[in-house]
Amino acid sequence: QAQLVQSGAEVKKPGASVKVSCKASGYMFTTYAITWVRQAPGHGLEWMARISGYNGNANYAQKFQDRVTLTIDTSTTTAYMELRSLRSDDTAVYYCARAQGSGWFDPWGQGTLVTVSS
């Protein structure tokens, strides 16, 4: 059964960077892409970026193009999302999810709360 397990909560100061991990198991990692979605407190879901589990090619939402980098490590079946130059409005729960078929997302990781505060 496919499962994604994310790293734990982080507290960062404005201007810092954060790197969230997403460990995949129960399926062939290189066959699917991993996508990242965030949710600010009390708000909806916002797509950030996705990365191929096969060749590491990534696509980014225009809003995050300059501040986000996605990477994968196929040897450990882990995907990573790094967000730089953090601001207070980056405070959110960050989710990874497996991209199925043409692009629906299942399953999802449990989420990682990133708090940006001075």
Partner 1 sequence: DIQLTQSPSSLSASVGDRITITCRASQDIRNSLAWYQQKPGKAPNLLLYAASRLESGVPSRFSGSGSGTDYTLTISSLQPEDFATYYCQQYFNPPPYTFGQGTRLEIK
Please tell me the distance from the alpha carbon of residue 70 to that of residue 33, in angstroms, as a whole number.
Answer: 11
| Choice from 23, 46, 67, 69 touching partner 1 (CB under 8 A) | 46
According to the binding rule CB under 8 A, does residue 54 interact with partner 1? no
Q: Phi and psi for 21 in degrees, rounded to 5?
A: -105, 160
Q: Is 53 one of the binding residues for partner 1 (CB under 8 A)?
A: no
- Only segment of 10-18, 22-30, 80-88, 99-107 that touches partner 1 (CB under 8 A): 99-107
Residue at 32: amino acid letter: Y
Cβ(14)–Cβ(114) below 8 Å: no
Task: Let me know: does 20 contact 112? Beta carbons within 8 Å.
Answer: yes
Candidate list 15, 26, 56, 103; residue touching partner 1; CB under 8 A: 103
- Note the residues at the interface with partner 1 (CB under 8 A): 35, 37, 44-47, 50, 59-62, 95, 97, 100-111
